[in-house]
Amino acid sequence: MNRYMENRIRQQFLTHLARENNHFTDQSYVENFYELDEQIIRALQTNQLQLANTLLETLTLDLLQHPMIDEYHGVRLYFRGLTYHVSRLVPVSNSNVQTSLAYTSALLRLVDELHTPLDFVYAIPVVTEALATMISFISTQSFSDHRVLSAIRLIEKHLTDPTLSPSNVATGVGLSNNYLSSLFKQETGETISERIRRRRIEASMNDLIVTSLPICSIAKSYCFSSCTTYISTFKTYKDMTPLQYRQSHHKKKR
């Protein structure tokens, strides 16, 4: 989209928003709303989570003062829109698109369950962390060998498959285990086993937040050999146990 069209669409957006039941009679307020929105996306893209939290909190408190159809319609609509916005940034060709869609679905369900101003405020760190994770799926890295990308896609597709292993991945892309392992490490900076382990931990984080499944059941569903192994691996990547991670998110909603 060229600059002229962007400015034209932006002005159309501001005009429609300003006319919406006369809720936004102060044009400077609408301009500020638009700028905050862009700043939140930039903060997420640069992994500045604290800044994103602060900006989203500012915008949320403003929206809570300007109810639309019902008391929380405006802020709920914004949270949903921000989620869709980030979701659309992940191209369908991305190997993590299915995981991104799972995050999108979980966030939309969460937003619909928020019913008080404190709910929305306490949800902000959860929302920004999930959105930042989705944005992290957008990789600008290009692989010199398409078989590395094929291997990554295969890993994403079979995260909950207990037969997933470096040798099976190599078979799936038509290379020897040793050759693919060397190529994969060279291209990505991590081994195939490390990629599988890391992605299983990251995928399990969503289950810890949006389900009440026992931690050992989540460990089993992501093919960890034992609950103890899952907990120690999780702590290696996240500097906290799965229970601590779950509690850190859930206690904010009490």
CATH of the domain at 156: 1.10.10.60
Q: Is the pLDDT score of 250 beyond 60?
A: yes
Q: Does some domain include residue 61?
A: yes
Q: Does some domain include residue 240?
A: yes
Q: Does some domain include residue 74?
A: yes
Q: Are residues 118 and 218 in the same domain?
A: no
Q: Are residues 113 and 169 in the same domain?
A: no
Burial (CB count <10 Å: 0-12, 13-18, 19+), residue 192: buried
Q: Are residues 178 and 220 in the same domain?
A: yes
Please count the structural domains in the chain: 2
Q: Are residues 247 and 165 in the same domain?
A: yes
Q: Could you tell me the CA-to-CA distances from 207 to 23, 75, 92, 103, 203 in Å, in that order?
A: 38, 25, 23, 10, 7
Alpha helices in the chain (DSSP H): 3-19, 27-45, 49-64, 73-89, 97-112, 117-136, 146-157, 166-173, 177-188, 192-210, 215-221, 227-238, 242-250
Stretch 103-109: mean pLDDT: 90
Cα 15 from chain centroid? 31
173 and 151 Cβ atoms separated by less than 8 Å: yes
Q: Are residues 153 and 201 in the same domain?
A: yes
Q: How confident is the model over 214-240, as pLDDT tens digits?
A: 999 999 999 999 999 999 999 998 889
Q: Are residues 48 and 169 in the same domain?
A: no
Q: Does some domain include residue 81?
A: yes
Q: Does some domain include residue 231?
A: yes
177 and 184 Cβ atoms separated by less than 8 Å: no
Q: Are residues 182 and 126 in the same domain?
A: no
Give me the pLDDT at residue 45, please: 73
The range of the structural domain enclosing residue 86 comes to 3-136
Q: How far apart are CA 86 and CA 81, in angstroms?
A: 9
Band (pLDDT 50/70/90 cuts) for residue 25 is very low
Q: Are residues 155 and 118 in the same domain?
A: no
* 150: Cβ contacts below 8 Å, ≥ 6 apart: 172, 173
Q: How far apart are CA 50 and CA 62, in angstroms?
A: 19
148 and 184 Cβ atoms separated by less than 8 Å: yes
161 and 223 Cβ atoms separated by less than 8 Å: yes
Q: Is the pLDDT score of 142 beyond 70?
A: no
To the nearest whole percent, how much of the chain has pLDDT over 90? Answer: 25
Token pair of 173, please?
A: 């892309």
Q: Is the pLDDT score of 70 beyond 50?
A: yes
Q: How far apart are CA 232 and CA 240, in angstroms?
A: 9
Q: Does some domain include residue 87?
A: yes
Q: Does some domain include residue 141?
A: no
Q: Is the pLDDT score of 81 beyond 90?
A: no
Lowest mean pLDDT among 28-42, 54-68, 220-234: 28-42
Band (pLDDT 50/70/90 cuts) for residue 143 is low
Q: Is the pLDDT score of 14 beyond 90?
A: no
Q: Are residues 120 and 164 in the same domain?
A: no
Q: Does some domain include residue 101?
A: yes
Sign of CA dihedral 225, 231, 233, 238: positive
Band (pLDDT 50/70/90 cuts) for residue 77 is confident
